[in-house]
Structure 1
Amino acid sequence: MQFGVSSYSFQPLLRRDEITLEGVFEQIAASGGTHMELATLTIGQGLEAMMDYELYEDAETRGRLEAAAANSGVALSGLCIPASFIDEDAKARRAQIDRAKRYVDLCADMGVRFLRTDVVPWALRPQSYAQVEAFFPVITDACVELAEHAASRDVVTSIENHGFLMNSSERCRRLVQAVNSPNFRMTLDVGNFLCVDEDPLMATRNCLDIASFVHVKDFLLRKQYPGPGWLETLGGRHIVGTVFGFGDVDTREIVRAVLASGFDGYVSLEFEGNEPTLMGCDTGLANVIRIFDEVRAEIGG
């Protein structure tokens, strides 16, 4: 098992030019991490530029990433991209699928084996169960095509339990089963289940057998609105990110479940709290490594 950090965790510093991509690799190495997962949304100047950014068009940045990985000893483990396969306009939907396939090719060319793509916009909240059912075969067809291309390049693609519509352990399991390919799995985010009010421990246990990558994070959870900056869940509760180990997620039992499952791949910390970024990343990663070590010792692994 290898522990690292998603570039998403450093997004506030990257946006303000207070850290470079090279600095992210160095910071992870100094904190004891061995890999960095790149969310392409974190590269670019300003939010609008980030939304339009395509790494496959940026040879200079690809070279910087490869050099930084080599110099720091921190591997580039995976890429995460936003995507949506449900556009009613056939041309726009085709462009999204072809774009995702280009990222499969980019992963293969860079020696990166894992690609996570969204399949619907993150913020889209389902209006009805019927809406989800209507989207499901459209999403499945796109993911089948993506998985077939990924198989030809020895890349593993995945859906993440991300946002509000394609979230929940059962919905993710259903899609992975429908695609039915070893090249389409799940990026299992242990905290994101809270967005749809599912218990993170139970949901994590339900999905570990289909996980190709694991994201660890922590949240504070409140039933009543605490004030600005908190995200409202699908069921009307409120969450905000915090340092891993500081919040209300049962992190130790989730770690126990991960170890018991036999998962032995990449584990990425995603810090998205209000605490200072470097503190959240450094302390969070230290807690991840410590808790995994402690629980491993407890179970004799």
Structure 2
Amino acid sequence: MQFGVSSYSFQPLLRRQEITLEGVFEQIAASGGTHMELATLTIGHDLEAMMDYELYEDAGTRGRLEAAAANTGIVLSGLCIPASFIGEETGTRRAQIDRAKRYVDLCADMGVGFLRTDVVPWALRPESYAQVEALFPVITEACIELADHAAARGVVTSIENHGFLMNSSERCRRLVHAVDSPNFRMTLDVGNFLCVDEDPLMATQSCLDIASFVHVKDFLRRKRYPGPGWLETLGGRHIVGTVFGFGDLDTHALVRAILRSGYDGYVSLEFEGNEPTLMGCDTGLANVIRIFSEVKAELAA
């Protein structure tokens, strides 16, 4: 098991230029982590620049990432990119698939083994079950093509339970089994199931056998709207991120499920709370490492 942090956790500091990419590697090393997962949306200083940014076009930043990894001993474990394989405009879907394949090539060239792509826009909420059923074969076809390309380059691609439409344990499992490739798996986020009002522990347990990467995070949950800054779930409840171990998720039970499953890969902390960023990342990662150690000892006793 290797513990680290997603660059997404440092996005507020990166956006305000209060920390550099090199500083993120250094911070993770100082906190006891061993790897960093890079979300390409964290590169750039405003939202428009982040949305348009392409790492495969930026040799300078790739060099900085490789040098920072070498200097700190922090492994660059995976890349995460936004993507949508359902574009209806002429050429849009094809361009998105080809772009994802270029990131597969980039992973292979940089020695990064894992690529997570979205398959629909994060904010897209399903209008009906029929809509999901109509989109499913379109998404599956694109993921099969991507997985075939990844197999040729030795990279594992994945869907994440992310957003609202292609979320839930059932939809993620269904897509992974429909693609039916060892090079297409699931980035399992233990907290994101709340976006579609699914129990995080039950959903995590049902998906661990298809997980290629694990994200850990924590949320506060409320039945009624508490005020600005809270995300409304698909079922009308409200959640907000917090420091791992500070929230309402049963973190010990989630860790116990992960360990009992035999998963032994990368675990990335994703901090997206309102607490100060460095405190959220440092304390959160310390809690991740501590809770895994405690539960491992419990299971061995």
Task: Please classify the TM superposition score into its range, dividing by the shorter chain length.
Answer: over 0.9
Are 1:264 and 2:271 an aligned pair? no
CA distance in 2, matches of 1:223, 1:191: 17
3-state SS in 2 of match to 1:88:
coil
3-state SS in 2 of match to 1:122:
coil
1:198-237 to 2 correspondence within 5 Å? 198-237=198-237
Are 1:124 and 2:128 an aligned pair? no
1:282-297 to 2 correspondence within 5 Å? 282-297=282-297
3-state SS in 1 of match to 2:143:
helix
1:88 positional shift:
1.2
Tell me what 1:24 maps to.
Answer: 24
Are 1:39 and 2:71 an aligned pair? no
Tell me what 1:255 maps to.
Answer: 255
1:213 positional shift:
0.1
Are 1:182 and 2:182 an aligned pair? yes
Tell me what 2:82 maps to.
Answer: 82
Please, which runs of 5 or more residues in structure 1 have no aligned partner?
Answer: none
Deviations along 1:130-159, whole A, 9 cap, x unmatched? 000000000000000000000000000000
1:140-159 to 2 correspondence within 5 Å? 140-159=140-159
CA distance in 1, matches of 2:208, 2:186: 9
Tell me what 1:53 maps to.
Answer: 53
Displaced runs of 4 or more, over 3 A: none
CA distance in 2, matches of 1:53, 1:252: 37
CA distance in 2, matches of 1:6, 1:260: 24
**What is the number of residues matched between the two proteins?**
301
1:45 positional shift:
1.9
Deviations along 1:40-90, whole A, 9 cap, x unmatched? 000012110000000000000000000000000000000000000001124
CA distance in 2, matches of 1:294, 1:251: 11
TM-score with structure 1 length normalisation?
Answer: 1.00
CA distance in 2, matches of 1:250, 1:87: 38
1:278 positional shift:
0.1
CA distance in 2, matches of 1:2, 1:287: 14
CA distance in 2, matches of 1:45, 1:247: 30
Are 1:135 and 2:135 an aligned pair? yes
Letter paired with 1:267 = V
CA distance in 2, matches of 1:254, 1:212: 16
CA distance in 2, matches of 1:72, 1:46: 27
3-state SS in 1 of match to 2:255:
helix
CA distance in 1, matches of 2:170, 2:94: 27
3-state SS in 1 of match to 2:91:
helix
3-state SS in 2 of match to 1:182:
coil
Two-structure CA RMSD over aligned residues (Å): 0.6
TM-score with structure 2 length normalisation?
Answer: 1.00
CA distance in 1, matches of 2:92, 2:257: 40
1:283 positional shift:
0.1
3-state SS in 2 of match to 1:141:
helix
Identical residues among aligned pairs (%) = 87
1:18 positional shift:
0.1
1:67-78 to 2 correspondence within 5 Å? 67-78=67-78
CA distance in 2, matches of 1:274, 1:214: 22
CA distance in 2, matches of 1:145, 1:167: 21
Please, which runs of 5 or more residues in structure 2 have no aligned partner?
Answer: none
Deviations along 1:208-249, whole A, 9 cap, x unmatched? 000000000000000000000000000000000000000001
Higher mean C-alpha deviation, range 85-94 or range 204-213: 85-94
CA distance in 2, matches of 1:175, 1:55: 27
3-state SS in 2 of match to 1:45:
coil
Tell me what 1:95 maps to.
Answer: 95
CA distance in 2, matches of 1:215, 1:299: 22
Letter paired with 1:6 = S
CA distance in 2, matches of 1:200, 1:163: 14
Letter paired with 2:100 = A
Deviations along 1:186-208, whole A, 9 cap, x unmatched? 00000000000000000000000
